[in-house]
Amino acid sequence: MNDIKTKANMARKFIEKGDKVKVALRFRGREMAHMQENKHVLDDFAEMLEDIATVDKAPKVEGRNMVMFLTKKK
């Protein structure tokens, strides 16, 4: 869990500068069968940054990855 907090803090710095942030989860092997159950990880990440960021593109599966984009709130 500390790892996700570190990533969220780095994403916060980029968003505050005005950059967009791409958040990706990579699935391997048997994880591929349980992709949708792990969508909550990206939702939790977005929730950590909801004070300064909005979800630009909702979590979407692209091959072995689940990707989401965050942008600065207006």
Polymer length in residues for the chain: 74
3 state SS for the chain: CHHHHHHHHHHHHHHHCCCCEEEEEECCHHHHHHCHHHHHHHHHHHHHCCCCEEEEEEEEEECCEEEEEEEECC
Domains and CATH numbers, the chain: 2-72 (3.30.110.10)
pLDDT digits (tens, 9 = 90+) for 2-16: 799 999 999 999 999
What is the pLDDT, as a whole number, of residue 74?
Answer: 84
What is the pLDDT, as a whole number, of residue 11?
Answer: 97
Backbone φ and ψ of 50, nearest 5°: -65, -20
Mean pLDDT (the chain, rounded):
94
Q: How confident is the model at residue 1 (pLDDT cuts 50, 70, 90)?
A: low
Q: How confident is the model at residue 45 (pLDDT cuts 50, 70, 90)?
A: very high
Q: Which two tokens stand for residue 60?
A: 């979407």
| pTM score | 0.88
